Structure 1
Amino acid sequence: MATLILVRHGRSTANTAGILAGWTPGVHLDDHGAAQAAALPDRLAGLPLATVVSSPLERCVQTVQPLLDARPELRFETDDRVGECHYGDWSGRKLSELADEPLMQVVQQHASAAVFPGGESMRAMQARAVDAVRDWNQRIDAEHGGDAVYAICSHGDIIKSIVADALGMHLDLFQRVHVEPCSVTAIRYTRTRPFLLRLGDSGELGSLAPRDRGEGASSGRSADGGDGEGTVDTGTGDGDAVVGGGTGAR
């Protein structure tokens, strides 16, 4: 079966503002995110992509646009099923504020029971995303053969949930997975099981370096909403993952 290249969108204005964007309109790539997107064609140059699929949200379409410009022969489609999680009433709110919500502990530790107020459950999010991948696998196989490679540009929580499914990992453990902005994750699907070939490969190692403790450090959080004491921007509190995905290297 096909090999899937999952690309998380480049760093967005919501990422740098510490806001959970969801489907909030007007969220686009910041300057660093645009540079990440501009580098994507070279990073994927060796892959004979059959198709590029994207979340319909602006930050994802912006991320793949340089790739489409460089390879105009590529077929491009959007698919709502790989769009961001519908966070409902949480959309547009500061992650630092959401960290104090009782639901956040459920999102972090028992994601399969999490339902966002006015939005969808994380189980429904994963189900629609995995269904989309399975459908696209069959479509790509039928049109291009079992050795074909295609790309889907999506969002942090969506990609993490697809990875969890590929690994046979319960959704309650998916917050252990981290994918940075414009990172590449590769999954090869076979008749009997998937194989995870790459996870969150961004080519940027800056986010692994220790961060300066700035304003907000007393609460265990850095000013950007990341973990103030750890070495990777993985959360809004000690040991927590960033809902929607972290900001990556600064």
Structure 2
Amino acid sequence: MPIVYLLRHAQSSANVSGILAGQDNSVELSKYGFKQAENLVNTIEMIKPTKIFSSPLLRCIQTIDPYIQSRRKIKTLTDSDLIEMDYGQWSGRKLSALQKEKNWKKVQKNPAQFTFPKGESFINLHARVRKFQVKLYGEKGPILVVSHGDVIKMFLASVAGLELNSFQKFVIEPGSISAISIEKSSSKIISTNNLNFFPIKQLSIKDSLGGGNTLRRKFFGAIK
């Protein structure tokens, strides 16, 4: 089973300002985010990805660019299925203000029934995440995927076989890495929301028996 690492982009200016950025391609990394991206070079070097897929948005490209510049033999393959949600009229607004919207609870508790005004539905997000997941069947890992918080949460929910409304139970921080093994017949979540990195070996059938033994438990410290 190939290992797929899901990397949320490093801290952005919108994260700092508490703004829902959505598909705004002008949003850049913050000063700290650029530092995170530089620190991620060594982390990704430990992963040794055979392929890198990324959202086309600038903040994701800026996150992976320091590694690409240091490893010129590998290129980033952008994929529109990995782009952040289209939040429509909610895009560009403060999260503190959005929490007062009457539909905020629906977004948190019953997202399957919600479509953002002049934007995307969570059902559509789930569909394109599943579409990308299918693209990975048969790939040989390790694979690195650079994307966004809601996309990665939906990816994890899909792999876990959870209903759409459960995807909000995951927490994915900027610059964090989640790891999954992916196969058509059997996909598994290995770890989520890690700001520490640990190398993971390829999985075999025996790894899923008796609780599994999938991790080499050597930690390399938090990204500063």
TM tier relative to shorter chain: 0.7 to 0.9
Which residue number corresponds to residue 22 of structure 1?
Answer: 22
1:175 to partner: Cα distance: 1.0
Which residue number corresponds to residue 97 of structure 2?
Answer: 97
SS across alignment from 1:19: coil
Alignment of 1:101-250 (within 5 A): 101-138=101-138, 141=139, 145=140, 148-203=141-196
Q: Larger deviation: 8-17 or 24-33?
A: 24-33
Matched, 1:59 2:59: yes
Which residue number corresponds to residue 37 of structure 2?
Answer: 37
Q: Which amino acid is 1:169 matched to? A: L
Q: How many angstroms apart in 1 are the aligned matches of 2:71 and 2:134?
A: 25
Q: How many angstroms apart in 2 are the aligned matches of 1:137 and 1:184?
A: 20
Q: Deviations over 1:148-191 (max 9, x none)?
A: 21111000000000000011111111111001101001110134
Check the 8 A contact 2:89/2:119 in 1, yes or no.
Answer: yes
Check the 8 A contact 1:89/1:116 in 2, yes or no.
Answer: yes
Check the 8 A contact 2:10/2:60 in 1, yes or no.
Answer: yes
In structure 1, the gaps of 5 or more residues are: 205-248
Flag as ranges the 4+ runs of structure 1 deviating above 6 A. Answer: none
Q: Which amino acid is 1:119 matched to? A: G
Q: How many angstroms apart in 2 are the aligned matches of 1:41 and 1:50?
A: 15
Q: Larger deviation: 11-20 or 167-176?
A: 167-176
Q: Larger deviation: 66-75 or 113-122?
A: 66-75
SS across alignment from 1:132: helix
The alignment's C-alpha RMSD in Å is 1.7
Q: Deviations over 1:166-220 (max 9, x none)?
A: 111111111110011010011101342211112010139xxxxxxxxxxxxxxxx
1:23 to partner: Cα distance: 1.1
SS across alignment from 2:42: helix
Q: How many angstroms apart in 1 are the aligned matches of 2:125 and 2:146?
A: 16
Q: How many angstroms apart in 1 are the aligned matches of 2:47 and 2:58?
A: 24
Which residue number corresponds to residue 50 of structure 1?
Answer: 50
Matched, 1:2 2:5: no
1:113 to partner: Cα distance: 0.8
After TM superposition, the score normalised by the length of structure 2 is 0.84
Q: How many angstroms apart in 1 are the aligned matches of 2:151 and 2:184?
A: 23
Check the 8 A contact 2:134/2:184 in 1, yes or no.
Answer: no
Q: How many angstroms apart in 2 are the aligned matches of 1:183 and 1:162?
A: 14
More relative contact order, 1 or 2 (CA 8 Å, 6+ apart): 2
Check the 8 A contact 1:50/1:75 in 2, yes or no.
Answer: no
Q: Which amino acid is 2:98 matched to? A: L
SS across alignment from 1:127: helix
After TM superposition, the score normalised by the length of structure 1 is 0.76
SS across alignment from 1:179: coil
1:2 to partner: Cα distance: 2.5
Q: How many angstroms apart in 1 are the aligned matches of 2:13 and 2:5?
A: 24
SS across alignment from 1:89: helix
Q: How many angstroms apart in 2 are the aligned matches of 1:190 and 1:25?
A: 32
